[in-house]
A and B are shown apart, each in its own frame.
Chain A
Amino acid sequence: DIQMTQSPSSLSASVGDRVTITCRASPGVRNDLVWYQQKPGKAPERLIYATSTLQSGVPSRFSGSGSDTEFTLTISSLQPEDFATYYCLQHNSYWTFGQGTKVEMK
């Protein structure tokens, strides 16, 4: 089984801040890594796939990087609509979600 460890579980930030969320995979998953954003009461929405490919319509302040065992989601300048919970997903071997990171307003 592939284990996904996402950190932090929550963070407090202000509008304009740079935010970084990390997912670690064990064993490695090549670049088969996806990031989602979920707002309360809504289904998750795919933000990034194949580690770094931005979903159409997603603002360019979101970016993904990494490979194999360590991946990062970065929001370069946090906007009010970005306060949400973020999840990573590996699909290299079956499917496994990270535990989620709740981005809250400081």
Chain B
Amino acid sequence: QLQESGPGLMKPSETLSLTCSVSGGSISSSSFYWGWIRQPPGKGLEWVGTLFYTGSTYYNPSLKNRATIFVDTSKNQFSLRLRSVTAADTATYYCASGNTFDVWGQGTQVTVSS
């Protein structure tokens, strides 16, 4: 199971930090891929980025190098940081596992507003 946690409400220019807690297995062995996907209100799904078990990371170019994904194996979780947020980053953020996103968290709503 995956469970996202995050700040809920943020101001423009701040750094968004989201965490995905993994339960029911070790993050080091239960999947090779760990990803983040977001969905703005009323819109479609957008891939944000993915962490491969080797430590390699892949990001959506549209984020213009603002995103960082990293893992904390001691806490069995992985995280997303998104710098310099704007209203366009308002979305429900999902974490998911696997190359085909076979397991998803329930999502966490993030609103960017001044």
CB contacts (< 8 Å) of B102 on chain A: these are 46, 49, 55
Q: Which residue of A lies closest to B50 (CB)?
A: A95
Contacting residues, chain B, for A34 (C-beta < 8 A): 100-101
Interface pair A45/B104, CB less than 8 Å apart: yes
B106 on interface, CB distance cutoff 8 Å: yes
A44–B31 Cα distance when bound, in Å, is 19
Q: Is A30 close to B, CB under 8 A? A: no
Interface size on A, residues (CB 8 A): 22
Interface SS of chain A: helix, strand, loop or mixed? loop
Contact B104 A44, beta carbon cutoff 8 Å: yes
| Nearest-Cβ distance from residue B80 to partner chain A, whole angstroms | 15
Chain B residue with Cβ nearest A9: B44
Q: Which residues does chain A contribute within 8 Å of B101, judged by CB atoms?
A: 34, 36, 44, 46, 89, 95
- Asked whether A97 and B61 contact (CB < 8 A) given A43-B107, A44-B104, A89-B101, the answer is no
Binding site for B on A (CB under 8 A): 1, 34, 36, 38, 42-46, 49-50, 55, 87, 89, 91, 94-100
